[in-house]
Amino acid sequence: METAVVVALTVAVLVFAVVAIAALVVLARRTGAIGLRATGPSPEELAEVQAELERARQEAGEIRTRAEAEAGEIAGRSEAVEKSAIKLRQEVEEETRVLKSELKEFRADLERRENRLAEREQRLDEEARRQAERGRKLAETETELADRREDLLQIEDERRAILERVSGLTAEQAKNELVKEIENQAKREAVLLIREIESEARKEAEKRACKIVTLAVQRVATEQTAESVVSVLHLPGDEMKGRIIGREGRNIRAFESTTGVNLIIDDTPEAVLLSCFDPVRRETARLTLEKLVLDGRIHPQRIEEAHERSRAEVQDLCVRAGEDALVELGITDMHPELVTLLGQLRYRTSYGQNVLKHLVESAHIAGIMAVELGMDPKLLKRCTVLHDIGKALTHEVEGSHALIGAEIARRYGEHEDVVHAIEAHHNEVEVRTVEAVLTQAADAISGSRPGARRESLEAYVKRLERLEQIAQSFDGVEKVFAMQAGREIRVMVKPDTVDDIQTQVIARDVAKQIEEELTYPGQIRITVVRESRSTEFAR
């Protein structure tokens, strides 16, 4: 630090000396110039020289001040450098001490590893000596065994020669005989074993099949069929019955003509009955009458308007029923047209069993059986819920509902396994897949469980449908309604096509064809209605 101060002061003195010399040189030059001009300097020149000397002194003072400041700064820097050097020396000493300690530990660890390696080499040498000794003993044993083998071969040859002389057969002949005997015995035992395995497998398969079917039936708890051809509509009061009947029965005749449903008004308090074999038609008539009762205005034109709205509402209900059935089964990726056809089965029955409920029940049963058998339950549910989809179009397309349903499913992009299960569920096509077999089983279980179906109701519905088909087959017929439980048929004809005389002909021909084709109790009345209407609008 003292050295730095001395150097700074020396620099300041040198700078001051340089400035003084420069000032003297300037003064000398100016003095010489004055001497050349005259014998002595003028007062102005002396004043100028004195001012120059004063400026030189001031500059020297400033330079001295800066030199002293720089000397102080250099002294401070020198002190900081010395402190840093001391700190660095301490860190180096600490790092050196740590490195010496780590080096000492490393050397100790290295010595321990060298000792372990030496011990391991010693053990390996001992193990190698033991292995060499064992190899020598094995070689001696092999030599001894080889000698014994040669002795045994000689003894075997002698025994074979003795046996050949005694039995009169060579060794090859005796070997062949023994092989044949063993082969025959193995075949007999194999046949017995196969029969035993097949019997056990058959018993186990029957037991497991019964278990699967029983579990499926137990887990699907559905109500017994209670299909009816009568719907009850409750009225707000008995005075509404007179408004429904209308003047001279005009409203009730218009209602039955428009809807094709019998409207029964009896002594039942605040209720009327709607009777029809077609559930869709009966539901449409119920909604129509319900709207008329709520509105209060009942006349033929309002009946027709309410009937049209009710038909559209029933169609929407059918679509919603199809969507609800698929949601219940967990199926979401089905074509909208298939969903619509599925919903139309809401009001369709088969031997008294609701077809849509039958499909949902069968799908649940098939899914349970699929899980028990380790198969895909979603695929089985899809096959089963669509197996009767053709029944929605049997009144429009000729043919079996199984083949019709398969064609519809194929048209709307269903998987080939689903299509095959649909077309094969009544054995109209040879069954090729396990899914088709399970679809048949689920269909049979759902249809054959106690209380599922009522065959008499199905036969009754088919008879009424055939009555309407016979009457509808004649030219000029617009609408046909089977009423009064099939004891009456009302035929609506086109007034511009059929005249009054031809209505009698149609009634007689319909009655004759019914007598020839159908068997029925009592008699059936055929009523042909020809009605003309004129409508104008006042503007």
Pair (13, 103) in one structural domain: yes
Mean pLDDT (whole number) for 415-441: 88
Give the CATH number of the domain where residue 374 resides.
1.10.3210.10
Considering only 338-347, 389-398, 405-414, which range has the smallest mean pLDDT? 389-398
> Domain for residue 248, yes or no?
yes
Instruction: State how far the alpha carbon of 159 is from the alpha carbons of 148, 178, 522, in Å.
Output: 16, 18, 104
> Domain for residue 213, yes or no?
no
The tokens for 31 are: 């003095």
Number of domains in the chain: 4
Name the residue range of residue 135's domain: 2-149
Instruction: State how far the alpha carbon of 474 is from the alpha carbons of 65, 236, 480, 510, 526, in Å.
Output: 136, 42, 11, 8, 13
Give 491's pLDDT tier (boundaries 50, 70, 90): very high
> Domain for residue 289, yes or no?
yes
Pair (15, 112) in one structural domain: yes
pLDDT tens digits, one per residue of 273-320: 888 877 778 888 888 998 888 888 888 888 888 899 988 888 888 888
pLDDT tens digits, one per residue of 52-76: 778 877 877 787 788 778 777 887 7
Pair (464, 433) in one structural domain: no
**Is residue 489 within 8 Å of residue 472, measured between CB atoms?**
no
Q: How far is CA 59 from the centre of its chain?
A: 96
Pair (12, 136) in one structural domain: yes
pLDDT tens digits, one per residue of 208-246: 766 666 565 555 545 444 445 577 888 888 788 888 888
pLDDT of residue 225: 42
Pair (404, 472) in one structural domain: no
Pair (440, 508) in one structural domain: no
Give the CATH number of the domain where residue 470 resides.
3.30.300.20
For 40, counting Cβ atoms within 10 Å of its Cβ (0-12 exposed, 13-18 middle, 19+ buried), the class is exposed
pLDDT tens digits, one per residue of 179-205: 877 887 887 788 778 877 877 777 777
Considering only 173-177, 289-293, 523-527, which range has the smallest mean pLDDT? 173-177
3-state DSSP percent of the chain in helix, strand and coil, to 5: 75, 5, 20
Pair (335, 293) in one structural domain: no
> Domain for residue 160, yes or no?
no
**Is residue 220 within 8 Å of residue 361, measured between CB atoms?**
yes
**Is residue 363 within 8 Å of residue 370, measured between CB atoms?**
no
The tokens for 23 are: 């000032």
